[in-house]
Amino acid sequence: MHPHVPIPHHPHTLRNLARALLIAVFALASLPLVSNQQAHAVVPVLTNTQRQAYLNYYAPVIFKRANEDNGEDGRDWLTNFDFDQDHNYATNRVDWLNVKNYVAASAARATTSPYAKWRIRPTLYTSLIEYTNGTSKSLVLLYHVYNAADKEGSQIHDWERIELVVRNVTGTPGGTGEYVNNSTITHHSEHIIRKRGDFGFNFMNTSTGKHLMVWQADEAGSVLATHAHELRYVNDTYAAIAAQPVTDNAEVEISGKDVNENLHYVFVPQASSAAVSAWGAQRLNFGNASTLIGGHDNEHTVDWYQAKRLTYELQDIADITSTNWSGNPAWPTHWLSSTADDVVLESAILNEVNVAEVPAGRQRFYSKSRDNGSSSLTDDRNAVIHKDWFYGAYTAEADEDWPADTDDFQGYQGLGTDSTGATRQSASGRYDSPNSYWWQHDYFVHDGYGASGATVESGQWLRGAWYTAANGGFDGRWVQLFDDRPGLEP
């Protein structure tokens, strides 16, 4: 027990004591909001090998409709940012419109053709965030589905993303007690959320992966219909799909419309051997490209055995964000400066061998898409680092309505609050950040429910130093995990 200390009654002493208590209150109020659970995290962080394993294990299966008649063979393949091997992102749209020439060169075995150097390599760009509450670890897995052109080839760099939140992470993907709590997919400007147990939240479960099933539209189509690479959840279970005769129509029921939509491609993660085997998926290369085209109008329905099954690989979102950095001599090749994003980096952006590509400190990133084939040099789209979903700061919705509702969470502005009333600035302790800069480790984790108010989302801003190994965290948005394999066929 502490000895009793009498409270002094001298008025000057009381005023000094009151002043000291007031200063202490303000000092406490200025500290980041860090929960007791996060502050006393004891769960060890994953190794990079484990992180790669999780990203591969939960990578989605994408059923995609094509619109490839009239000499547009291959237009609805997924690809990567340097498919044309010219190291220039600003040429991607114009070059992608010539993918039919790549297909023709493949069919002719024209190995001396300039198109023979192309490496299509269907790719999803990904990141992993891990954070710990007490003794429980969770992951946020981000998958960016890359299309080089959109809107019937009139726009460049179409950004579509799939987000998964995995709870009770064991360190071994699919371990006992581990589950996917919720997912969000992009539907143009909307962010459509599903949680565990919801209708239309279906996975292909195999011995090597648990793969969310998603349908994607082709690049064409009316705004009144599914169009422009929009994503939808697949309402059918995998068991129901697998039970269909191969001569049945290749189509799945999609969320929002609750009607069947046709498909011409199935894209499967190449690292999930059981999924690859189940679909008979092939790696796309110059030698077989002409045999793996959809080749049909988007209204033409094929049988299941006629749908082309292709594998895709994973690469890192951080591969792209480093090209946006104002200190990168090549940034003007790919981007325009009319959109600038300031990010305060607590630590450097690292490549696969842990060499810094962007240093720590307040850094500027230029993210307006450059399109050398446009007279204005842009279609006014912005890169991933500018997207609210990159920071989790979006309005989640359960419905897929048209016209789209406004995304008004206003996390960047400092108005968006989580379920506890915290804003990003109170969670990080960076009270000067609203409307000024993103902090590198700003991130809002949604919990599967829609918005509960105009600027109130169900979930949490991650608190304080959540991203440190001491607190059981890792912010993989700024780390490159996967080997780039430049110039290689998958």
The pTM of the full predicted model, rounded to 2 decimals, is: 0.90
- In a domain? residue 34: no
Same domain, 284 and 359: no
Q: Which amino acid would we find at residue 437?
A: Y
Looking at 353-462, which runs of residues are DSSP E strands? 356-358, 361-369, 396-397, 438-439, 444-446, 459-461
3-state SS assignment for residue 25? helix
Q: How far is CA 116 from its chain centroid? A: 30
Q: Once rounded to an integer, what is the mean pLDDT over residues 28-35? A: 42
Residue 30 or residue 126, greater confidence: 126
- Higher-confidence residue of 361 and 22: namely 361
In a domain, 307, yes or no: yes
pLDDT in tens, 169-190: 999 999 999 999 999 998 888 8
For the chain, the helix, strand and coil percentages under 3-state DSSP, each to the nearest 5 = 20, 30, 50
Q: What is the pLDDT of residues 393-440, one digit of tens each?
A: 999 998 887 666 667 899 999 999 999 999 999 999 999 999 999 999
**What percent of the chain has pLDDT above 90?**
78
- Look at residue 254 and tell me whether its pLDDT is greater than 70: yes
Rounded to the nearest 10°, the torsion over CA 334, 338, 342, 345 is: 0
List the end-to-end C-alpha distance of the chain, in Å, as a whole number.
70
218 shares its domain with 330: no
Instruction: Say yes or no to pLDDT of 23 above 60.
Output: no
Provide the residue type at 284 as one letter. Answer: L
Does any domain span residue 250?
Answer: yes
Task: Mark whether 282 and 426 lie in a shared domain.
Answer: no
- Answer for the pair 80, 482: CB distance below 8 angstroms, yes or no: no
d(CA 381, CA 387): 10
Q: Same domain, yes or no, for 239 and 358?
A: no
Q: Count up the domains in the chain and report the number.
A: 2
What gap in Å lies between CA 245 and CA 36, rounded to an integer? 54
| 185 belongs to a structural domain | yes
- For residue 146, being part of any structural domain is answered with yes
Write down the mean pLDDT value for the chain: 89
Specify whether 144 is located in the same domain as 82: yes
* 216 and 327 in a common domain: no
Tens digit of each residue's pLDDT (9 = 90 or more) over 305-345:
999 999 999 999 999 999 999 999 999 999 999 999 999 99
Q: Is the dihedral of CA 123, 472, 167, 232 positive or negative?
A: negative
Query: Are both 330 and 296 inside the same structural domain?
Result: no
Residues 137 and 209 in one domain: yes
Residue 419 maps to a domain: yes
Of 317, 345, 365, the last residue of a domain is 317
pLDDT given for residue 400 in this prediction: 83
Residues 229 and 313 in one domain: yes
Q: Tell me, yes or no, whether 75 and 210 share the same domain.
A: yes
Residues 295 and 438 in one domain: no
Please say whether the beta carbons of 351 and 482 come within 8 A: no
Using CA atoms, how far apart are residues 380 and 369, in angstroms rounded to an integer?
Answer: 7
* Residue ranges making up the domain that contains 455: 318-374+403-463
Does residue 24 belong to any structural domain of this protein? no
Quote the pLDDT of residue 5. 31
pLDDT in tens, 221-248: 766 688 889 999 999 999 999 999 999 9
Give a yes or no: residue 478 inside a domain: no
Using CA atoms, how far residue 9 sits from 13, 14, 21, 298, in Å, is 7, 7, 16, 85
Within this chain, do residues 207 and 322 fall inside the same structural domain, yes or no? no
Contacts of 76 (CB under 8 A, 6+ apart): 64, 65, 66, 67, 68, 218, 219, 264, 265, 294
